[in-house]
């Protein structure tokens, strides 16, 4: 950050608080069925075009869109992002909620 011209105290500690990642699953997601199948999910297409899924472990929130694109927020590490996305993708596959053209 210093190289970017930001003034920082010499003893400052930088910690990651929140990682936001965008993902493309490579297929389409059936959001209506997904909303009924996944606990801790909210889907109100009149208000927002994506499904909001709150994952407990790791504690993240994933926005799921019909296009198969996701936005994962709240992760503290890259490992948490991968775990969240892999867990969700596995669940979508198991419940036959993915469509591949």
pTM over 0.85: yes
pLDDT of residue 85: 98
Greatest pairwise CA separation for the chain in angstroms: 54
Q: Higher model confidence: residue 48 or residue 7?
A: 48
Domain-embedded: residue 71: yes
Range of the domain at 25: 15-99
Confidence of residue 101 (pLDDT cuts 50, 70, 90): confident
pLDDT of residue 29: 98
Domain-embedded: residue 7: no
* Residues in Cβ contact with 17 at an 8 Å cutoff, skipping those fewer than 6 apart: 76
Domain-embedded: residue 6: no
**In which residue are the tokens 């996701």 written?**
70
Tell me the C-alpha distance between 41 and 26, whole Å: 21
* pLDDT tens-digit map of 25-82: 999 999 999 999 999 999 999 999 999 999 999 999 999 999 999 999 999 999 999 9
Domain-embedded: residue 54: yes
Domain-embedded: residue 93: yes
């Amino acid at each position: 950050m210093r190289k970017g011209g930001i003034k920082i105290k010499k003893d400052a500690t930088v910690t990651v608080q929140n990682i936001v990642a965008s993902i493309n699953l490579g297929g389409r997601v059936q959001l209506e069925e997904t909303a009924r199948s996944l606990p801790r999910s909210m889907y109100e297409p009149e208000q927002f075009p994506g499904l909001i899924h709150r994952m407990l472990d790791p504690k993240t929130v994933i926005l799921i869109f019909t296009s198969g694109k996701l936005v994962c927020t709240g992760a503290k590490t890259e490992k948490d992002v991968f775990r969240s996305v892999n867990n969700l993708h596995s669940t979508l596959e198991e419940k036959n909620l993915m469509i591949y053209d």
